[in-house]
A and B are shown apart, each in its own frame.
Chain A
Amino acid sequence: MDWGRVRFFFGEVWRNFTRNLLMQLTAIGTVAVMVLLLGTFLFTRDAVGKIGDDVLKRIEISVFLSDRATSADALALAARLRRDKRVEGVVYVPRAEGLRQMRERLRGQIDTSLLTTNPLPDALRVRVTSPDRVREVAAAISKLPDVAHVEYAQDAVQKLLRLSGVLGRVGLGIVVLLIFTAAIIISNTIRLTVFARRREIAIMQLVGASGTYIRLPFICEGLLDGVLGAALALVLLEVGRLQLLPKLFVALPFLPLHAVSVNQGPLALELLAVGAAIGIAASWLSVGRYLRT
């Protein structure tokens, strides 16, 4: 390892970097904002996805049996459903139990003591193995004998799916826009450095430095902008996660936020990679344009 060579190279990079510090800070700041929003977006998307999964997992299909069905019929049907691979579990709710649960649920809202007879049929509660099977299983069950009516939280499922879809598209649009902005600002920063160093570049070309060698310090500068910006954003994201998320738990108790445990390691690496890639691409473009004369 020739340390003199390494020191010279990084000396040049550092000289470039500190020549126009304000501009570098602008570039770093832009990347930081971009990565921050990208990170928030990815985190939110993961979280909504997880919440969605959790809600969907708990979606049960309520199967109401016809009045003619006996409890033996109900048990037979339950046994038959349990054999289906798509079904995770079946609970038999006799009509008396159903009434008791309803009274429990509606206590204080409706005076259920007025009910003199039990209006409920026997019912089965079916849980399926995967949320996207709910519709299919429900349809199959409704065709079985002794089944009067099938119900599941269709609306809730569809709304949730739609919400995460919209969220995904809007977020993605914003992120793409921000990536462009960051790239343009880095590219401008590098172009200023290139301009400030045009004498050096001319001399390098004159004495026979290779194109790669001339480019490399500028590429490193862009890389530095990208990585530092991304790192700054990661710090802010971590602070946000530690400070805001617990408050969110308290503020939104009805959301199953406990399910949110986004894997932060890979996400952080992804964001750093995005920052680095933008930095390299932007500087490559702006130096390329200058050197291609």
Chain B
Amino acid sequence: MPKNPCNVNVRAGRLISLRGVTLVYPNGTRALDGIDLEIAKGSFVFLVGHSGTGKSSLLRLLYREQVPTRGEVTVDATRVDRLRRSRVPHLRRNVGVVFQDFKLLSDKTVWENVAFALQVTGARTKDVMRQVPRVLDLVGLAHKARMFPSELSGGEQQRTAIARALVNNPKILLCDEPTGNLDPSNTNEIMDLLHRINLKGTTVLIATHNALVVDRMRRRVIRLEDGKIVADEERGYYLQRSEGLAGFATSETSAL
């Protein structure tokens, strides 16, 4: 046993690791069932599967919105499943999260929404003044800094949310259906942005069921079904190649 249960030695380059993770909700639903998973630093990973297969649950384990019923969750050498409540804020500053519904504050401008993430963690004004323009520039919203979310397109709102998730310089960016509310052109815009963010060294993990996005990017694809990992491919497709068109047809019909 390591002296400090929250810090375990991990092989260099491994940022996220799940071992034998099972998550059962109080109502008895088995959201995740014996997940083993490792994600390297700097990688770009898709998490795919039908709704209700545990994609969001898995992401929630990583920023400690949820604690596994069994198993070990390690993020950046920290045992998240054993993390004390008082240490959770520290973890969250290292993990940016983006959602389908953006979760922006409607009474705050783009600038204020992004700055908020720094201000509430007690950042110095000097840092706020430096970091906010940096991320707004990165997401291409510097010219709309004074607008309110209601004055922005869906894509711009999601870019604001991404800027907020990045302003603390997290090592990991978790995206839960980031393009779920966006039209195809906004979707491409957001995926390009996430790609650029990944190139700067941030590990990006995206839960999605948008096949076009996954197939266009050709990155690592982890497929979940009924809380289990059923496929894990480098340079994968939304559907496994072995499934082919027949698999596509059945999955489409079963979805209907």
Contacts and interface: CB of A to CB of B under 8 A. Distances in A.
Interface stretch (B85-93, B191-199, B248-256): B85-93
Contact of A207 (B85, B120, B126): B120
A235 interface: no
A209 interface: yes
B103 A199 contact: yes
B125 A203 contact: no
B51 interface: no
Contacts of B126: 2
B150 interface: no
Interface stretch (A3-11, A147-155, A168-176, A276-284): A3-11
A207 B93 CA distance: 6
Contacts of A205: 89, 92
B103 A207 contact: no
User: A-side binding surface: helix, strand, loop or mixed?
Assistant: helix
A265 interface: no
B97 A208 contact: no
A240 interface: no
A210 interface: yes
Given A5-B125, A200-B105, A203-B103, A209 B97 contact: no
B103 A8 contact: no
A: interface residue count bin: 10 to 19
B251 to A, nearest CB: 33
Interface residues of B, number: 28
A54 B126 CA distance: 65
A207 B92 contact: yes
B5 interface: no
A209 B120 contact: yes
Given A4-B125, A203-B103, A211 B93 contact: no
Interface in A4-20: 4-5, 8
A211 B86 contact: yes
Determine which residue in A3, A199, A206 has the highest number of CB atoms from chain B within 10 A of its CB, and name it. A206
A207 to B, nearest CB: 4
24 contacts: A2-B126, A3-B125, A4-B124, A8-B119, A202-B103, A203-B103, A203-B105, A203-B116, A204-B120, A206-B63, A206-B97, A207-B121, A207-B164, A207-B165, A207-B168, A208-B88, A208-B94, A208-B121, A210-B86, A210-B89, A210-B121, A210-B122, A211-B89, A214-B120
Interface of A: 2-5, 8, 199-200, 202-211, 213-214
